[in-house]
Chain A
């Protein structure tokens, strides 16, 4: 079974509080977390900095409760885009962007949502839960996103803090469910304190509130998170879905002590292998 993961832990400046968050997440049973670095383009010109390596930040990672492995920490970048010109940063092959394990985008308008689902090279599309959606979801871009392997992310921590956010979270989630039929959903926290984290089964139960079935709700915390990490591990030129289209042959996945490795064959008989930073237990 895919291990539980929480793909959104905001990266704070305080190292001690992040360590506390990691320990709580490991105690609750999460096998992997992703430290989120949010870039909002509305503010002054922001540079995309290189991600801080988790091994530098946290010298000793806590052990996940119930297993003997340490929690895996990934890096994630979220771009809040409110203007089509912001997408150019993604399209340009900035070297710093590819260093992040997962790339997420937060579209603010319907047109940007369409662009994010159909053309942008991202792994996650964040759905706003703190305010009423300014646009309605339409079936064509959502179906294209599902085919491309993009996942929609819902947050649950705003629902814990405030009752109006609770209503917006549930109503936005229900309208998303009606269009996507429960596929490709990832539920994650945006917890800033250890008390705002919830256990993986609690979060899976929240999925039932949003209208998912039991299997889909559990997958939203485990299988879909792992699939989003896999999607992020392969860049656009080597994307697994494009591998099939370009008839590059995926030979095998091998699991070693260091993790999951994927081996595939490129044109002209070149063999290529790359480590996939996921935890699959």
Chain B
């Protein structure tokens, strides 16, 4: 994070400006594959993400630095990390993906945040007793 301080003339006036929200954005996604076929493992999942980027944004999009931080094969959910400038490209590529190996699928983006810790809590799943 880049900070810049500016001290006032006589009084101790200080202003901090955050210029960028962080160099990476984190997305928690889930792949919905309703039919009971074979589930992709982590390598195939990464391949799917990169091919989605390639279909929509071409070679430049496919070269976007995307990392799969965690992957659960049972629930087909993952946490992806992408450079902040590439968030719109990755998100739109995942949204417009319709098929995995000729099977209909859908990507559901559950959470997105510039901070990884923020993905730990999800207010949508909050249950108030």
Measuring CB to CB, which residues of chain A are less than 8 angstroms from any residue of chain B? 28, 65-66, 156, 159-161, 163, 166, 193, 195-199, 201-203, 205-206, 208-209
Contacts and interface: CB of A to CB of B under 8 A. Distances in A.
B98 A160 contact: yes
14 contacts: A66-B124, A160-B97, A163-B55, A166-B96, A195-B32, A195-B34, A195-B105, A198-B95, A199-B108, A199-B109, A202-B109, A205-B91, A205-B95, A206-B96
A208 B92 contact: yes
Contacts, number: 42
A141 B46 CA distance: 46
Nearest to A169: B96
B56 interface: yes
B92 A206 contact: yes
Contacts of A202: 91, 94-95, 109
A176 to B, nearest CB: 18
A201 B108 CA distance: 10
Interface in B74-109: 88, 91-92, 94-98, 104-106, 108-109
A66 B124 CA distance: 6
Interface of B: 32, 34, 55-56, 88, 91-92, 94-98, 104-106, 108-109, 124
Contacts of A206: 92, 95-96
Contacts of A166: 56, 96
A42 B124 CA distance: 46
Given A166-B96, A195-B105, A196-B106, 18 more contacts: A28-B108, A65-B124, A156-B96, A159-B96, A160-B97, A161-B98, A195-B104, A196-B98, A198-B106, A199-B109, A202-B91, A202-B94, A203-B95, A205-B91, A205-B92, A206-B92, A206-B96, A208-B92
A198 to B, nearest CB: 5
Contacts of A197: 106
A160 B96 contact: yes
Contacts of B106: 195-198
Contacts of B95: 198, 202-203, 205-206
Contacts of B96: 156, 159-160, 166, 206
Given A65-B124, A195-B106, A205 B88 contact: yes
Closest 7 CB pairs of A and B: A160-B98, A202-B95, A195-B106, A205-B91, A209-B92, A195-B104, A208-B88
Contacts of B92: 205-206, 208-209
Contacts of A193: 104
Contacts of B88: 205, 208-209
A255 B55 CA distance: 46
A160 B56 CA distance: 10
A196 B105 CA distance: 8
A221 B92 CA distance: 15
B118 to A, nearest CB: 15
Contacts of A159: 96
A198 B104 CA distance: 14
A203 B94 CA distance: 11
Interface centre among A166, A197, A202 (most CB of B within 10 A): A202
Contacts of B105: 195
Nearest to B124: A66
Nearest to A27: B108
B53 to A, nearest CB: 13
Nearest to B95: A202
A196 B108 CA distance: 11
